[in-house]
Amino acid sequence: MIAGCSRKGNNQLPIAIKPAYKKFTLHFSAAGLGSNFGEMEPVFHVSGVKYIYTYQQNSFYQNEARKHPDTICNGNLKESAIDSIIELVAPIKEPKIYKTNAGVMSGDIEYLQITADNINLEFTLHNAFDSTAAKIVSILNHYIPEDKPKLWVSNYSEK
């Protein structure tokens, strides 16, 4: 694990954040489809360098009782991790990337949104794979303890 992750609040000392990192936000979430509909799914949110990782019910029927979110952990990303994410997405010129695999009725949809100076990018992956999104998720997974569920991007290969 690269950084500390606390379940009962962030026990890390306050850190001075460079102005460039204060504007950085990242939001990853998954929503279950088909047999996964209504299941608890991961949500990883970063604001500046601070992150919180929860499991939430991101899909549900209108009259269905909703499950309470479960906080897995929270902490601080290293600035080098943010730099790596920005380096991955900076060359992408499209503001939205949407990929789908219509042949899969179950599974899930992963959403990944990143904002920073001159960057506003959104991935929507409907049972589909994207190599850049997978690299970003890999960076985030370094901040999740070994005994906790990791984030993912659907593993359907790109055609």
For 53-87, the pLDDT digits (tens) are 999 988 877 777 678 889 999 999 999 999 999 99
What global pTM score does this model have? 0.85
Helix (H, G, I), strand (E, B) or coil at 27: strand
Beta bridge partner(s), residue 55: 42, 70
Least confident of 31-35, 70-74, 95-99, 115-119: 31-35
User: According to the model, what pLDDT value does residue 20 have?
Assistant: 73
Contacts for 144-148: CB closer than 8 Å, 24+ residues apart? 144/1, 144/5, 144/53, 144/72, 144/73, 145/1, 145/5, 145/73, 146/1, 148/5, 148/53, 148/72, 148/73
Contact 117, 89 (CB under 8 A): no
> φ and ψ at 22, to 5 degrees?
-65, -30
Structure tokens, 105: 């009725």
How far apart are alpha carbons 124 and 128 in whole angstroms? 9
The stretch 88-102 carries a mean pLDDT of: 94
Which tens digit of pLDDT belongs to each residue from 12-31?
545 666 777 889 999 999 99
Fold classified for 19-141? Mago nashi protein (3.30.1560)
Give, in order, the Cα–Cα distances in Å from 29 to each of 17, 24, 51: 25, 17, 13
Residue 14: what pLDDT? 52
Average the pLDDT over 113-119 and give the result: 94
* Three-state DSSP class for residue 21: helix
Say if CB 79 and CB 49 are below 8 A apart: yes
CA angle in degrees (0–180, nearest 5) for 122-127-133:
40
